[in-house]
């Protein structure tokens, strides 16, 4: 049966990398149908549409997955359309797991002295539906000397428990031994106290797995010092956002960092960790590999494990010995190629792969 994929390329380099990602996915010969949607800054500025009414229901009813580029545009400085597009899908489709693998695919990509592939292979489970991201809060007396601005961090027992459980289940299924939770329970005693108590309970249900809770500042330091100590990291929405840009920098940069926004068994969204990169948009410099690897995560979610491995294998080969965009030149050396050149080579590799 054909699986339908909603493609939302978005802004900036989003469309540049989405074009390559879809071409590569199409080349696999799977029964996938790609439908393109123009939601993003242009559309928002034209007619104020973020996502049209009824679109969430259409996604739930008719689509197996969403393949998303990036949103963000200097003409929308308040980023309202990102809230109405990306965050709206994360929240309303209840995509509570933001899965962000930070796995080194070539020793030369590591910025850490003496740390290679055997040291850098952790996965982050970022809570994706609550925390500081819900828009709860407001401003009082705006523009006066007495202005008050607040954002409220939402932590629910159910929301915290399900992301913790997902992290432990992932470790268990893959034979991993360690889960580390990052919080700031020494200061945020109410919300992160809830995380600590729930973590202890969920950990008791998984006795074979070493469970450690850490303060996020200490973890940020330790990820640089001894990344090999971490296999699965689970944390809240904001800390997960920050730690995964750090994780990307440890494993080759945003140009190759992939993610999945997942609700198991439901329509889920796959996107690179990076944004719309207005500084390099329209210059043929964007690295399409993060988008391609996000496609591999999508294929796994859709049950096409073999093809997912074929894609990630081709990306590894590409990084090892193929053309590269400028972001990877400081790490790998050699001349810089364009987005299109990297895409074309990758396409040839995928077709040649067994």
Of residues 263, 156, 164, 158, the one with CA closest to residue 205:
164
290 binds ligand NAD (CB under 6 A): yes
The reply to whether 184 belongs to the active site is yes
If one asks whether residue 343 binds ligand NAD (CB under 6 A), the answer comes out as: no
Closest CB to ligand IPM among 106 and 241? 241
- Establish whether 327 is a catalytic residue: no
Nearest approach in angstroms of CB 152 to ligand NAD is: 21
Here's the x/- map for ligand NAD, 57-96, by CB under 6 A: it reads as: -------------xxx------x--x---x----------
By CB under 6 A, name the binding residues for ligand IPM.
72, 82, 86-87, 241, 273, 275
Contact window for Mn ion (CB under 5 A) among 98-106, 155-163, 214-222, 238-246: 238-246
Residue 241, interface with Mn ion (CB under 5 A)?
Answer: yes
Taking CB under 5 A as the binding criterion, the range among 38-46, 69-77, 236-244, 297-305 that sits at the site for Mn ion is 236-244
38 is annotated as an active-site residue: no
Q: Could you list the active site residues?
A: 133, 184, 217, 241, 245
Residues engaged in binding ligand NAD (CB under 6 A):
13, 17, 70-72, 79, 82, 86, 254-255, 271, 274-280, 286-287, 290, 325, 327
Residues engaged in binding Mn ion (CB under 5 A):
241
């Amino acid at each position: 049966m054909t699986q339908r994929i909603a493609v939302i390329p978005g802004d900036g380099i989003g469309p540049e990398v989405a074009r390559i990602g879809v071409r590569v996915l199409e080349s696999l010969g799977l029964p996938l149908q790609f439908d393109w949607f123009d939601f993003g800054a242009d559309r928002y500025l034209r007619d104020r549409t973020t996502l049209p009414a009824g679109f969430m229901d259409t996604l739930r009813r008719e689509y197996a997955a969403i393949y998303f580029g990036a949103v963000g545009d200097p003409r929308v400085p308040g980023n309202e359309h990102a809230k109405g597009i990306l965050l709206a899908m994360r929240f309303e489709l209840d995509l509570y797991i933001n899965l962000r693998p930070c796995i080194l695919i070539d020793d030369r990509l590591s910025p850490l002295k003496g740390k290679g592939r055997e040291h850098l292979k952790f996965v982050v489970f970022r809570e994706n539906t609550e925390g500081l991201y819900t828009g709860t809060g407001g401003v009082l007396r705006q523009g006066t000397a007495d202005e008050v601005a607040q954002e409220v961090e939402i932590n629910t027992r159910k929301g915290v428990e399900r992301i913790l459980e997902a992290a432990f289940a992932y470790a268990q299924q893959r034979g991993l031994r360690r889960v580390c939770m990052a919080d700031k329970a020494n200061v945020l005693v109410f919300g992160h106290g809830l995380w600590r108590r729930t973590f202890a309970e969920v950990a008791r249900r998984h006795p074979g797995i070493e469970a450690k809770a850490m303060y996020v500042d200490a973890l940020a330091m330790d990820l640089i010092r001894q990344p090999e100590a971490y296999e699965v990291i689970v944390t809240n929405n904001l800390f997960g956002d920050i730690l995964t840009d750090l994780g990307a920098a440890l494993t080759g940069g945003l140009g190759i960092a992939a993610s999945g926004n997942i609700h198991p068994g439901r329509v889920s969204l796959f996107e690179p960790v990076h944004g719309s990169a207005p500084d390099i948009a329209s210059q043929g410099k964007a690295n399409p590999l993060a988008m391609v690897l996000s496609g591999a995560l999508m294929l796994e979610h859709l049950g096409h494990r073999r093809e997912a491995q074929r894609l990630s294998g081709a990306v590894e080969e590409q990084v090892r010995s193929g053309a590269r965009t400028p972001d990877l030149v400081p790490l790998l050396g050699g001349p810089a190629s364009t987005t299109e050149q990297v895409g074309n080579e990758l396409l040839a590799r995928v077709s040649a792969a067994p």
